[in-house]
Amino acid sequence: MKLLHEPPAGFDGIARSFAMAKHMPTTHRLGLKIGIAQEGVLLAQGELDGYRQVAFFSKHLRSLGYKEHLLGGEDEMFGCDMLFSVAPPPKRRVEDSDPSFIRRPAVELWPARN
């Protein structure tokens, strides 16, 4: 992979998996352009030749939390056939830290049968 900007944290693992994918045998030379983006900036770009290579690499990046993009406009994809972006961390629910809330008492809708 060719780095275009400062690599994100843990990029050495991504580079290793890309190198491993490049060594996998392929039946056709497809020349798929693969890119890695973060916050709208293309960080790295490379080329993979076949389905086995792409499947191996994309599975590894998805397991690391990267989001996969296949379709998009030329500007959105940076000229790549497949783009991976860092998925934003999930939003945490904000818990009410004030324990002074008062719950309404339960209302009996139907009287209990004896």
pLDDT tens readout for residues 36-49: 988 888 999 999 99
In a domain, 11, yes or no: yes
- Work out how many domains the chain is built from and give that number: 1
Q: Output the six-digit token pair for 107.
A: 């209302």
Q: Considering the domain boundaries, does residue 14 fall inside one?
A: yes
Q: Show the tokens assigned to 108.
A: 């009996």
Q: Containing domain of residue 26, as a range?
A: 2-86
- 94: in domain: no
Residue 111 lies in a domain: no
Assigned domain for 103 exists: no
Q: For 92-112, what is each residue's pLDDT tens digit?
A: 655 555 555 566 666 677 776
End-to-end Cα, the chain, rounded Å: 77
Of 59, 41, 57, nearest in space to 49 by CA = 57
Q: What is the model's pLDDT at position 70?
A: 83
User: Is 36 within a domain?
Assistant: yes
